[in-house]
């Protein structure tokens, strides 16, 4: 993901606390967060992580763009809904995986590790 440009905007949203637009062709993404809606920093970080996972899973989004273009008028609202449904399940599965793993402790032991090199 190092070669992606990910822009994060904080603004009021009508029907979500966060969302993301992925433009895989250009390796760009725009995440919007409605920071007024978060009671805690933790909830904001969770939402940011959720939207970043959508970017990480850009291939599924790209598949949707391809299928929509391929099917043209035959792609309908139900297809949009199903694409969103499965996209959210993918992200949810990764969130569960990450929550189960916890965060790796990389900080304090790094100088000691470097001595072995
Ligand atoms: Zn989502």
User: What would the pLDDT profile of 49-83 be if each residue is shown by its tens digit?
Assistant: 999 999 999 999 899 999 999 999 999 999 999 99
> Binning pLDDT at 50, 70 and 90, where does residue 102 land?
low
pLDDT (0 to 100) of residue 101: 78
Q: How far is the CA of 33 from the centre of ligand 1 (A)?
A: 12
Strands 18-23 and 28-33, how do they pair? antiparallel
| Average pLDDT of the residues in 1-29 | 93
pLDDT (0 to 100) of residue 100: 85
Cα(100)–Cα(95) distance, rounded to whole angstroms? Answer: 8
Q: How far is the CA of 43 from the centre of ligand 1 (A)?
A: 14
Q: How far is the CA of 113 from the centre of ligand 1 (A)?
A: 37
- By three-state DSSP, how is residue 107 classified? coil
Q: How far is the CA of 100 from the centre of ligand 1 (A)?
A: 19
pTM for the structure as a whole: 0.81
pLDDT (0 to 100) of residue 104: 56
Q: How far is the CA of 50 from the centre of ligand 1 (A)?
A: 6
Closest CA to 7 of 23, 27, 30, 25: 30
Q: How far is the CA of 108 from the centre of ligand 1 (A)?
A: 33
Contact 52, 6 (CB under 8 A): yes
pLDDT (0 to 100) of residue 114: 47
Closest CA to 16 of 43, 34, 30, 36: 34
Collect all residues with Cβ–Cβ distance below 8 Å to 109 and sequence separation of at least 6: none
Q: How far is the CA of 53 from the centre of ligand 1 (A)?
A: 8
More confident residue, 107 or 32: 32
Helix axes 77-101, 41-56, angle to 10 degrees: 120
Q: How far is the CA of 88 from the centre of ligand 1 (A)?
A: 5
CA distance to 10, 72, 90, per residue, from 20 (Å): 12, 23, 15
Q: What is the percent of the chain with per-residue pLDDT over 90, rounded to a whole number? A: 74
């Amino acid at each position: 993901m190092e070669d992606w440009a990910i822009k994060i905007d904080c603004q009021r949203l009508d029907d979500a606390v966060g969302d993301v637009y992925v433009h895989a062709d250009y390796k760009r993404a725009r995440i919007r967060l409605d920071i007024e809606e978060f009671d805690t920093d933790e909830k904001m970080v969770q939402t940011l992580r959720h939207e970043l996972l959508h970017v990480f899973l850009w291939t599924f989004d790209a598949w949707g763009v391809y299928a929509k273009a391929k099917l043209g008028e035959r792609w309908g609202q139900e297809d949009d809904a199903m694409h969103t449904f499965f996209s959210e399940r993918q992200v949810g599965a990764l969130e569960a995986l990450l929550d189960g793993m916890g965060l790796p402790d990389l900080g304090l032991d790094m100088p000691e590790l470097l001595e072995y090199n």
